[in-house]
Amino acid sequence: MEPTLRRLPKLGDRSSGVLLHPTSLPGPAPCGDIGPSARRFAMFLHAAGQRWWQMLPVEPLGGGASPYQTVSAFAGNPLLISTEALAKEGLIDSLKRGGHQRDARSSEKVDYAKAQRFSRACLEQAWDRFQKGAPPNTCASLKQFERRQAVWLEDFALFCVLREEQSGAAWHTWPKPIRFRDRSALDRIRSKHARRLGYHRFVQFLFARQWESLRRTCGRLGLGLIGDMPFFLAQDSADVWAHPDLFGLDAQGRPTQLAGVPPDYFSRNGQLWGNPLYRWRRHQETGFAWWVARLKHTLSRFDAVRLDHFIGFHRCWAVKPSSKTARAGKFVPSPGKQLFERAQASLGDLAVIAEDLGVVTPEVTALRGYLGFPGMRVLQFAFSDPIGTNEHLPHNYERSCVVYPGTHDNDTAIGWFKSLSRPGLGKKSANLKLERRALKEYLGSDGRAINWDLIRAALTSIAALSVIPMQDLIGLDSRSRMNYPGTVKGNWVWRMRASAMDKHLAERLMSMTILAGRLAKGNK
């Protein structure tokens, strides 16, 4: 008999959690996944008194292996499917023998090229074996999944098959009949590639099944999952191909404007992301149906969701397609208030966190306040000007906010502290010295354990929720940074060692969590 689920936390509860993307988990495959190692990590979080596990987006990766350049707003990332679990089911050979052994070697960095090859070989074998002798109840479950997810699954499978047929070329370069979704052309594809379409639906079924298994494990531990929803989609994505009227495209399917952000803390040239902007008038005409479906799907996968680039729901930075950087652009308005009013009318209260970082205007703050979404505070931003009144300082927090020592876009706590000794990102040496001194005085720190000083400040703050990056708990430097904004190489590859899930670390975090009053009742 399955144990009773513990009460899951709510965003308003005084609680804490850890930020770690599943790709960073250890394991025998070239990429972390949602299999046995994910369950061990959930057990580690429970032993440490944590109530939330926050991840980055779990949708399929686009260019540069960035989880924020996803090729689908609805599908799951095949790289996160556990090959260990598939082997245990008998769907693939054991990872210790056969053709998989050469590639199935865990490392301290994700090798996405190797991971793609390895995952594809395993999933192809699983599909072959499934077709040859799947149990009737599993076949029935697959059919049920296909019916329930038909609103996005068929378009996604078609998109994947067409990309294969076109040797990976971007959809706006495809022959016109399939580029513009001619019905007879797509019918021919369905007939010609029925088996491949079945394969891609099957892969999504495997992801969904393993995901629900992980969620049940987390639920039994009283551990909530926080997801991350990118604001934009990759231009070469299933959704943009399937719904071109919802995006700012020209007659050939290319973006008329590119998304990004103006110069900021992270980049003096801004960040040119290259995504198409939304055609908001069309979204309004449909009652924001695509957005409502996307929010519903994401919130069915997670217990709460961080909305990346919340500023975009007020206005977006639009750059000409010919631009090389994001320095020159203009803001275009977004109907965020109407969008969320419609979503709340359809879905009820939304358990979301607004990533309100960057060039935040009073209008953005007012929108977040009107919607009742908690915002984010980041301690690494707290000690520069204005000293004392900086909104990222703990004594200036609203109770409803979510505090982080740093996010996936920041350096690790130790790496950041070391960077305060050397100029960078346009900061002068004198300003860095002032920031370093303010940090040490505010925290009462000598800097020797700055990661734990920042963790303590986050946990003991008034913020309802505190989330700690796993790299900071372990005490890692810049070599373990997850992302360098504005760059495309060397990101998203950090992977922790299995030994990091240490009982002594769990005990230390548990002790601090109890001291900060963030432990759930009955968890001592």
Instruction: Catalytic residue, from 409, 411, 453, 472: name it.
Output: 409
Nearest to 465 by CA among 337, 303, 320, 284: 303
Instruction: Tell me which of 303, 308, 435, 472 is the catalytic residue.
Output: 308
Q: Are 521 and 94 in contact (CB under 8 A)?
A: no
d(CA 30, CA 105): 6
How many residues are there in the chain?
A: 524
Tell me the CA distances in angstroms from 225 to 124, 306, 412, one per residue in order: 30, 11, 22
C-alpha distances in angstroms, 314 versus 81, 317, 362?
36, 10, 11
Residue 52 β-bridge partners: 17, 224
Q: What is the rounded distance in angstroms from the CA atom of residue 320 to the CA atom of residue 2?
A: 56
Q: Is 469 helix (H, G, I), strand (E, B) or coil?
A: strand
Taking the chain, what is the end-to-end CA distance rounded to the nearest angstrom?
A: 24
Active site residue 355: yes
CA atoms of 434 and 432, how far apart (whole Å): 5
From the list 355, 411, 435, 472, the catalytic residue is 355
What element of type H or E holds 465? strand 465-469
Q: Kindly state the DSSP code that residue 89 receives in the 8-state scheme.
A: H
What CA–CA distances, in Å, run from 422 to 268, 425, 426, 427, 453?
Answer: 17, 10, 11, 9, 21
User: Using CA atoms in the order 270, 467, 334, 61, what is the torsion angle rounded to 10 degrees?
Assistant: 70
Give Cβ neighbours of residue 197 (< 8 Å, ≥ 6 apart).
157, 158, 161, 190
- Check: CB of residue 485 under 8 Å from CB of residue 409: yes
- Within 379-428, residue ranges assigned H as helices are 413-419
Contact predicate 496/24, CB 8 Å? yes
Structure tokens at 430: 């004198």
- C-alpha separations of 49 from 12, 17, 89, 237, 509 in Å: 17, 9, 32, 39, 7
Tokens representing residue 119 in the block: 């995952």
Q: Is 385 annotated as catalytic?
A: no
Which sequence positions are flagged as catalytic? 308, 355, 409
